[in-house]
Amino acid sequence: MPDSPFAAVEVVDLTQQFGSVLAVDRLSPSVPPGMFYGIVGPNGAGKTTSLMAICGLREPTSGSIRIAGHDLRTDREAALAQLGVMMDGLSLPERLTATEILRYSAGLRGLDDGWQARAGDLLEILGLDAVPRTLIVEYSTGMRKKIGLALALLHRPRVLVLDEPFEAIDPVSARSIEQVLKQYVDAGGTVLLSSHIMDFVERNCRRVALVAGGKVLVEGPVAEVTAGSTLNERFVELVGADPVRPLEWLA
C-alpha cells in the first residue's frame, strides 16, 4: 500500500446524541497509517456508535472525521473508498453464495480480474471454501462474520473498521483471522476495531482507547494504559465492577 502523509483516521470531537442521551462525548482518536488501534469498553459504552459514524453509516451530531485525508462530510465518496467495513447488522444478499457475493462486490467497486485470486485466498483461509454452494441465508453467525471480513478486505482498502470481529468465531478461525490482520497491518494497512477479547487487543494493538459512558477514560500505547497490569484488569479497575450479591434461590 502506498504511503500517505495523512492520518489513516482523524476524528475530532465526535459527538453523538440521541434525544437526551449523550452516547458519544467528543471522541478524538488519531490513527496513523499502519497501526492496529483498539477501542474497548463495556456494553453500551458507545463503541459501535462511534465506529458507525467513522465508517459513514451514521451522521454524527457534531465533530469531524477524515479518512486518509478525505473529509467524510465534504468528500464522502473518496473517504468511503479507503474503507473496508465489518459491522454487525449490515444486511447481505441472502440468496447468494460466498463466491457470488464477492463477485457482486467486485463488480460494484470496478475491481480488475485480480479480485478472483484474492477471493479464493480469503475463502480458503476463512474456511468458507468448504461450503461453496451454501447460501448466505443458511450461514451461522460466525460464518457471516467471516464473509463480512472477506468483503471488507477484497478491495485492499487503506483502513479496516471492525466491530467485534471475533464474536461467535471458533478458535481456529480466530487464529487465522489474526494472522491475516497482522499481514494487512505489516503491509501498511490500518485496523481500527472494537473488541471484548482483551488478550487479542493487548497482543496486537499498539494503542488502545478505553471508553465508558461515551467518554474516553484513558488512551495511549497499550503498555502505558495497562500500567504494569493486564488490559483486562485495567479495564475492570477503570470501569468498576460491583460484587455480585448472593442469590438465595441459587443456594
Residue 166 reports pLDDT greater than 70: yes
Q: Are strands 215-221 and 207-212 parallel, antiparallel or unpaired?
A: antiparallel
Q: Give a yes or no: residue 174 inside a domain.
A: no
* Average pLDDT of span 9-28: 95
Residue 90 reports pLDDT greater than 90: no
Distance CA(24)–CA(131), nearest Å, equals 40
Distance CA(118)–CA(125), nearest Å, equals 11
With a pLDDT cut of 90, the percent of the chain lying above it is 88
- Count of domains in the chain? 1
Amino acid at 140: S
Judge whether 233 and 216 are in contact, CB under 8 Å.
Answer: no
Q: Name, in order, each residue with C-beta under 8 angstroms of 158's C-beta and a sequence gap of 6 or more.
A: 1, 4, 8, 33, 67, 68, 82, 83, 189, 190
227: domain CATH number is 3.40.50.300
Q: Give a yes or no: residue 7 inside a domain.
A: yes
Q: Measured between alpha carbons, how far is residue 85 from residues 63, 89, 102, 222 in Å? A: 21, 12, 14, 24
Q: Give a yes or no: residue 245 inside a domain.
A: no
Give 183-213 pLDDT, tens digit per residue. 999 999 999 999 999 999 999 999 999 999 9
Q: Give a yes or no: residue 124 inside a domain.
A: no
Q: Give a yes or no: residue 113 inside a domain.
A: no
Q: Give a yes or no: residue 159 inside a domain.
A: no
Q: Give a yes or no: residue 94 inside a domain.
A: no
Burial letters 86-99, b for 16+ CB under 10 A, else e: bbeeeeeeeebbbb
Predicted TM-score (pTM) of this structure: 0.92
Q: Give a yes or no: residue 68 inside a domain.
A: yes
Q: What is the residue range of 213's domain?
A: 1-81+190-240
Residue 2 reports pLDDT greater than 80: no
